Structure 1
Amino acid sequence: MRFLFLRLLPALLITMLLLAAATEYSVARPSRRTADVAYIPATDSAYSAKRHLLDVYAPKKPGARPYPVVVFIHGGNWTSGSKDLYSFVGRRLAKQGVVAVVINYRLSPDVRVPQMADDCARAVVWVRRHIADYGGDPARLFTMGHSAGGGLAALLATDDARFQRWGETTNPVRGVVLDDAAGLDMYDYLKKKAYPGDNQYIVSFGPNPASWREVSARHHLTPQTPPFLIFVGGETYPSISSSSAEFRKALVGLGHTPYYQVQPGKKHIPMVLQLYWQHNIIYQKLLPFVGAKE
């Protein structure tokens, strides 16, 4: 791959996601959306009125017990993207018995990736403390992400100290779904700088290798790391293919058995667009993984 693909969301992705957003109301009936909930207080010195927001998508029908919860983190090269483009993910998950939370977080160049990770962690903390009000089970909380959002979703599950700084004694993430994740090991990537233009990532990740390592989930893995579902496009960018394979290898070396699937013919953008269809393979594996089908 060339991480250059992540500079901006390609026009095709934006167009198709806008079409999906425009038609997501066709599946809205089984779900209830609560939009633009602030997950940190406006009095916080870091507060962003646009970026510190999340949307909750809950099944309308009460469950026999609280529903599992999936926090979805969008991609966009750490420089772009919005929760508003992914309402179809929230609707599809809610329709299938999951309380979905789709979040915004601050972006580069306003902040660097460590601050983005803090934003995502604070969103998860909010979810753990408040999701019962929406019918969700805080004890069954999972993260999910595509592209740069996948790297952040993996980091949240593996970096316990990040939650401790926000008042959580234990990491609330019980598992992770990676959809063509980027940034799983930016420490290795930025040390090599194998592709033209890689210096652009210094804007988002900073010049300090210690910081690259801090935000790389690969370097936080332990035998206690929660389970992973890992999906990779068969025709995605080479660095996503290789870093995902190395991530899986590291998990197996620690005694884990992650689910790992390369989806033949899929490029990077279609890997997230497929989430528009209820019966795609990611949802088929996700639902039993989070306990929506038991």
Structure 2
Amino acid sequence: MRITRLLLVPVGAILVLGAVLGATEYAAACPSHRTADVPYVPATTPGFDAKYNLLDVYAPKKAGPAAGYPVVLFIHGGSWTSGDKNFYSFIGRRLAKQGVVGVVVSYRLSPKVHVPEQATDCARALAWTVNNIKNYGGDPARVFVMGHSAGGGLAALLATDDTLLARNGLPTNPVRGAILDDPAGLDMYDYLKKMQYPGDEKYLVPFTKDPAVWYENSAIYKIRAGLPPFLFFIGGETYPSISSSSARFRAKLAAVGAPPRYTVLPGKHHIPMVLQLYWQHNIIYQELLKLVGA
């Protein structure tokens, strides 16, 4: 019998695998230039965190088109309680090597803050990107969002929640598309209402005990006509809660006339889905490059 609870694995589980993958990073770094630890909000911002309110920009070294390279902002996972941008340099490098400016962000973690504040951090990082990415060779008119696990849920909010963006300096939603890699949190309202399995209460820490917060921070309830295109990549052996909520998200997009590109990677579990991004010619990058026009 398969366990159907969410069971997200903290990002620390990825670190062991990261040590194995690090040997080839020097070669991948050569075609790109990294600008590290850029604050995306002023230090005077209430709640500013000098460790987490930062992003890295990975730009191709080769001169690009006059308008700039397309841009992908990547948001990491980690159950909303762990992780930061520093582990995911391989994604920034792979994007830059293929003619995309990669922006890899950190955000404040629970229990210090809750998911609404994390969504605010990501929206502010997006606003910084739109306002500044031209200086790094990126095209502010071609900004896309991407995320794995909890980061996928946050990326989906950026693509769907215009009110969130308007509160954070973006009166018009600039997102031109969303790439969701085994996303979690697309419908935490449904998930937390049920509370069916041992251990589910741990998600009340980042999402609070308020059902209104669960609903407001579940992108599935913000689907409407006119959204940017979505790409979904789902592990064939991922958690059933992720595959089922992604399927319902896809159905709602289809109902408003915008069916997403939806790819299941057979045999892949949840954590290995982000590690697919280590390999430059992976199907995720192939579809991503078509979407962004790189």
Instruction: Sort the TM-score into its range (normalised by shorter chain).
Output: over 0.9
**Structure 1 residue aligned with 2:136:** 134
Residue 6 of structure 2 is aligned with which of 3, 9, 12? 3
1:191 equivalent in alignment to 2:189: no
Q: Secondary structure at the match of 1:5?
A: coil
| Closer/same/farther in 2, CA of residues 264 and 212 from structure 1, 3 Å limit | same
1:42 equivalent in alignment to 2:43: yes
Q: Secondary structure at the match of 2:37?
A: strand
Shift of the alpha carbon at 1:194? 2.1
Identity of aligned residues (%): 64
What does 1:103-118 correspond to in 2, within 5 Å? 103-118=105-120
Q: Which runs of 5+ in 1 are unaligned?
A: none
**Structure 1 residue aligned with 2:21:** 20
| CA offset digits 1:95-117 (Å, max 9, x no partner) | 00000000000000000000000
Shift of the alpha carbon at 1:225? 1.3
| Closer/same/farther in 2, CA of residues 140 and 169 from structure 1, 3 Å limit | same
Q: Secondary structure at the match of 2:8?
A: helix
Contact 1:21 1:86 in 2 (8 A): no
Contact 2:71 2:139 in 1 (8 A): yes
| CA offset digits 1:19-60 (Å, max 9, x no partner) | 434542221110000000000001111210000000000000
Q: Secondary structure at the match of 1:4?
A: coil
| Closer/same/farther in 2, CA of residues 122 and 189 from structure 1, 3 Å limit | same
Structure 2 Cα separation of the partners of residues 274 and 48 of structure 1: 30
Structure 2 Cα separation of the partners of residues 213 and 274 of structure 1: 31
Structure 2 Cα separation of the partners of residues 247 and 56 of structure 1: 30
1:45 maps to amino acid:
P
What does 1:13-162 correspond to in 2, within 5 Å? 13-21=14-22, 23-65=24-66, 66-162=68-164
**Structure 1 residue aligned with 2:173:** 171
Moved more, 115-124 or 206-215: 206-215
Shift of the alpha carbon at 1:210? 0.8
Q: Secondary structure at the match of 2:38?
A: strand
1:122 maps to amino acid:
R
Q: Secondary structure at the match of 2:48?
A: coil
Structure 2 Cα separation of the partners of residues 22 and 77 of structure 1: 27
Shift of the alpha carbon at 1:227? 0.6
| Closer/same/farther in 2, CA of residues 10 and 3 from structure 1, 3 Å limit | farther
Structure 1 Cα separation of the partners of residues 19 and 176 of structure 2: 31
Structure 2 Cα separation of the partners of residues 137 and 67 of structure 1: 5
Q: Secondary structure at the match of 1:55?
A: strand
Structure 1 Cα separation of the partners of residues 43 and 163 of structure 2: 24
| CA offset digits 1:143-164 (Å, max 9, x no partner) | 0000000000001100000111
Structure 2 Cα separation of the partners of residues 135 and 251 of structure 1: 33
**Structure 1 residue aligned with 2:235:** 233
Shift of the alpha carbon at 1:10? 5.2
1:245 equivalent in alignment to 2:247: yes
Shift of the alpha carbon at 1:247? 0.6
Structure 2 Cα separation of the partners of residues 78 and 21 of structure 1: 25
| Closer/same/farther in 2, CA of residues 22 and 102 from structure 1, 3 Å limit | farther
Shift of the alpha carbon at 1:274? 1.1
2:73 maps to amino acid:
V
Structure 1 Cα separation of the partners of residues 196 and 256 of structure 2: 28
How many residues get paired?
290
Structure 2 Cα separation of the partners of residues 272 and 102 of structure 1: 14
Residue 204 of structure 1 is aligned with which of 198, 203, 206? 206
Structure 2 Cα separation of the partners of residues 102 and 111 of structure 1: 20
Contact 2:7 2:239 in 1 (8 A): no
2:262 maps to amino acid:
Y
Contact 2:159 2:177 in 1 (8 A): yes
Structure 1 Cα separation of the partners of residues 61 and 230 of structure 2: 28
Q: Structure 1: which 4+ aligned runs deviate by more than 4 Å? A: none
Contact 2:147 2:179 in 1 (8 A): yes
Contact 1:21 1:85 in 2 (8 A): no
Question: TM-score of the superposition, structure 1-length normalised?
Answer: 0.96
Structure 2 Cα separation of the partners of residues 172 and 17 of structure 1: 32
| CA offset digits 1:215-271 (Å, max 9, x no partner) | 100011110111100000000011011011111011101110200011111111111
